[in-house]
Amino acid sequence: MPSGGGGCLPPMDLMRSEEMQLLQVIIPTESAHLAVSNLGDLGLIQFKDLNADKSPFQRTFAAQIKRTGEMARKLRFFKDQMSKAGIQASPLQSTETPLDFDDMEIKLGELEAELIEVNANDEKLQRTYNELQEYNTVLQKAGEFFYSAQRSAAAQQTELGADQSGETSLESPLLEQDVFTDASKQVKLGSLSGLVPKEKAMAFERILFRATRGNILLRQESVDELVTDPQSGEKVSKNTFVVFYSGERAKAKILKICDAFRANRYPFPEDLAKQMHTIAEVSGKIKELKATIDMGLAHRNTILKSIASEFEHWNHVTKKEKSIYHTLNMLSVDVTKKCLVGEGWSPVFATSQVQDALQRATLESKSQVGSIFQVLNTKESPPTYFQTNKFTSAFQEIVDAYGVAKYQEANPGVFTVVTFPFLFAVMFGDWGHGICLLLATLYLIIREKKFASQKLGDIMEMMFGGRYIIMMMALFSIYTGFIYNEFFSVPFELFAKSAYACRDPSCGDATTEGLIMVRPTYPFGVDPVWHGSRSELPFLNSLKMKMSILLGVSQMNLGIMMSYFNAKFFRNNVNIIHQFIPQLLFLNSLFGYLSMLIIIKWCTGSKADLYHVMIYMFLSPMDDMGENELFPHQKYVQQVLLVTALVAVPWMLIPKPFLLKWEHEKRHQGHQYTPLEGADESVVAELGVHHEESNHHEEFEFSEIFVHQLIHTIEFVLGAVSNTASYLRLWALSLAHSELSTVFYDKVLLLTLGYNNVIILAIGVVIFIFATVGVLLVMETLSAFLHALRLHWVEYQNKFYEGDGYKFAPFSFALISDEEE
């Protein structure tokens, strides 16, 4: 045992949580940061919050917490920018050079300011570029409107004749007016052009006509490609429009409507030369802006790549510093403000390691005063700490999901490593399906280093975390599959030839003509000849049902035995004599006896009806057994067992409350010492001892204790029946799994083989594979897993496991979450 443990571990201590102690450390202020950092690297002390009455803003290191929070915000900003740019952060190297926190803060601030400036400039340039792209689109589309109008006007003038129109020119107005009209009466028309979202184009047109009472001319044309909107930066489908109007009032209305519909307006010169000049000018600016934007993006990517190379290191340092200051805020400052006082739970074996960490902090910080380290005596219940590895951690999580063990309570996880996958396999037994599960989990185990460094989905992460549970379930499924002799429901003569053969060598069907035993008994598992016979279902049902009862009674007895080891460890003799013994007698007088009858019947080949035996053991205990007698004097044995079971019920109910009351009265009369500090709290609670700050004892409530014991007695007596029946789910699910597998094999695979058609055979194989994977390897696996979980939580653990403790949560840098809270 590690130092501080006090000698070698007895066998049962393998199931106990680590022995804990409450430490008090007094650390000089100048070495406090380094000391907490060393303890975080060690990860074996759980600090208590000595400033729980203070708000976060009233604590000593609130300013430092704010600084680290601001740095974490900057790092999140960098991560978001890298994600948008498609740049991955370099993995954290174990040989990173240490950084000065102040220098890192300055550097992060400079990089953030530079990146914000680059982003702002890029945003402005991009907006201008998008506006110029829209303007270029308007110039092209609106130019087509004007050119077509001019061609139409020229054609009309040619038809009217040269005497009416004079010389024809392409510079003629778009809306032709009568040339003989007085020039003073001619109306000057204006125009507006731009782009409007396509989904708003019809509403835009209707509102324009209503607002101007039809005194406008509107031309629209759809833009073939999506246009990047300058304001939102999104790709939008738009229409180009040109509006001709007369008068300033109409223009004002049109401008307001354009603003309401977010229609971007752009000037369009009517003069052809100006149009060509504008188009050339806009095209030149687009090329210049494109080059400028590309240079800006390259500069931005350079900044982000330099950030990516250091991002993980900065992120780790920031989270580490934040956790250090959070921990320092849990320590109290002494009166002189020169020392920090902290309290925390630590395993006994880690005492020397904690001392070494504090001494190293004193030396490295060059503090003139060393840290003070001492163990405190307390009646507070310590946290529960089980040392686990990558194999056992998943099994321990199954137990902890029900409830964390009380301090040094017997840990069900030790037996769960074997019993959980075994009970799963009893329901899932098929060595073909087991091999499929094993191959899948071996893939996860072989590539576990790769998967551990990747971010997985929820389902995949859950499967990866339980890879060793799945491996054990697969191995036990192969084992029980050999016992059931099922490979995708097909039996094989793996270990020997079948012990049975056809009665007549000339008989056609052994399943109907009958079999005789011609060889020694099949050495391991179910004889393959049973599969497909007329008596297959009755035989397997009888086998699996009785096997379920045997397994259930065995596991419940294990739970009761665990309650004995708990009571013995906590020196609770009352529970040993008046709880463990009567519970053991009651369970085994009835269901232990039933298990013995099953084994005797198997060994002797008797045809006794066990249903009849158990029913009439209660209804007619004095009657003769007749042909149902399995051994001599069975009637008298049953009478003794029945009386034992009846006596066990009041034995569980009556003595314990009176003994607890007697112990309470003796202690208060001074005839007995008060319980030792190391005594189990459950005993103290049962005796009615509740330690208050004033060290007074509450009155012993006999009625509450008696009712509590009555409830427990009724729960155990009824639970002995219901829990035994609950284990029959092992038989039911095993039967369901076997029958489903048989249906898929007979009605899908064999049926398609009978058609002698390659296409039908391929379809049948595909359906068989999908049905096997989807139903048997996924749904049935989940179903058997949940039922095995229920059997452990309810039928097994309720016999001894209180699960009202709290888990040891040490301050450790290794446990810092990847996602910042």
CB 493 within 8 A of CB 528: yes
pTM of full prediction above 0.95: no
What is the rounded average pLDDT of the residues 360-373? 88
The most confident of 102-106, 115-119, 329-333, 422-426, by mean pLDDT: 422-426
pLDDT at 23 (0 to 100): 94
CB 288 within 8 A of CB 294: no
Q: What is the pLDDT of residues 754-788, one digit of tens each?
A: 888 889 989 989 999 999 999 999 999 999 999 99
pLDDT at 698 (0 to 100): 56
CB 738 within 8 A of CB 486: yes
What is the rounded average pLDDT of the residues 172-191? 53
More confident of the two residues 139 and 793 = 793
Closest CA to 752 of 742, 762, 743, 739: 762
Residue 179, pLDDT above cutoff 60: no
More confident of the two residues 292 and 675 = 292
Closest CA to 799 of 590, 571, 580, 514: 580
φ and ψ at residue 333, rounded to 5 degrees: -95, 130
Confidence grade of residue 800 (pLDDT, cut at 50, 70, 90) = very high
CB 199 within 8 A of CB 263: no
What is the rounded average pLDDT of the residues 728-747? 93
Report percent pLDDT > 90 for the chain: 46
Q: Chain centroid to CA 332: how far?
A: 36
Closest CA to 650 of 564, 606, 591, 714: 714
More confident of the two residues 517 and 522 = 522
CB 338 within 8 A of CB 29: yes
For 244-253, b/e burial (b = at least 16 CB within 10 A) is bbbeeebbeb
pLDDT at 3 (0 to 100): 36
More confident of the two residues 350 and 683 = 350
Q: Could you give the CA distance from residue 792 to residue 370 in angstroms, rounded to a whole number?
A: 50
**In terms of DSSP H, where are the helices of 329-374?**
351-364
What is the rounded average pLDDT of the residues 521-548? 88
pLDDT at 187 (0 to 100): 57
Weakest-pLDDT range from 450-459, 480-489, 559-568, 714-723: 450-459
Closest CA to 42 of 327, 322, 358: 358
pLDDT at 94 (0 to 100): 63
pLDDT at 457 (0 to 100): 80
Q: In sequence order, what E strands does 246-311 have?
A: 264-266
Tokens of 506: 């000339």
Confidence grade of residue 515 (pLDDT, cut at 50, 70, 90) = confident
pLDDT at 530 (0 to 100): 86
More confident of the two residues 808 and 369 = 808
Closest CA to 780 of 739, 745, 727, 747: 739
Residue that is written with structure tokens 């430092």 in the block: 64
Whole-angstrom CA distances from 128 to 138, 239, 290, 361 are 15, 20, 10, 58
CB 534 within 8 A of CB 511: yes
Confidence grade of residue 190 (pLDDT, cut at 50, 70, 90) = confident
Q: Indicate the average pLDDT of the chain.
A: 84
